[in-house]
Amino acid sequence: MDFQVNGTLIQQYYICKREVWLTSRNLSGDQDNENLQIGKIIAEFTYKRNNKEVDIGGSKIDLIKIENGELVVGEVKKSSRFLESAEKQLLFYLLQLKEMGVNARGELLIPEEKEKIAVVLDAGSEEEIRAAMTDIEHIVEGQLPPQAVKIKYCRNCAYSEFCWA
């Protein structure tokens, strides 16, 4: 299998490892899921002045801008509900850019809550992201997905039918 860790898999890894495996097999969640639809609308209609959806090595950065001569990478989210996983996704993008020789800082943007959260890649977060990438590779190599585990996010998950139908 031709496989490369991307930002979506990092984000999913910090929520549900089963979802990582399903995504790696190109199994899409329910595309009519209300949360997915809202997320697409927010991404399309917010932060219009910034460059949007920049593709870097299999990942799509939501937006980039130059602020005070510094490159800023933005990740737009519907809410702060998945704050930890969103931060890890953004750290992954910052690490990818660093490996390309590009220094940047990140901002998590939550327009509905008028939140802007600074994210900076440091040695500790870089080590954590690299470890997550290795674990994701092991998950994807598995013949079967990890066991379904009921967590607080299952109720609204676009993949819930894969686990609980």
**Given phi > 0 = left and psi -120 to 50 = alpha, else beta, which region is 47?**
left
Residue ranges of domains in the chain: 7-164
pLDDT tens per residue, range 130-157:
999 999 999 999 999 999 999 988 888 8
Predicted local confidence at residue 33, as pLDDT:
47
pLDDT in the model for residue 52 = 58
For domain 7-164, give the CATH number: 3.90.320.10
pLDDT at 99: 94
* Low-confidence residues of the chain: pLDDT under 70: 1, 29-53
Over residues 37-56, the pLDDT tens digits come to 554 454 555 555 555 567 77
Q: Which residues pair with 119 in a beta bridge?
A: 106
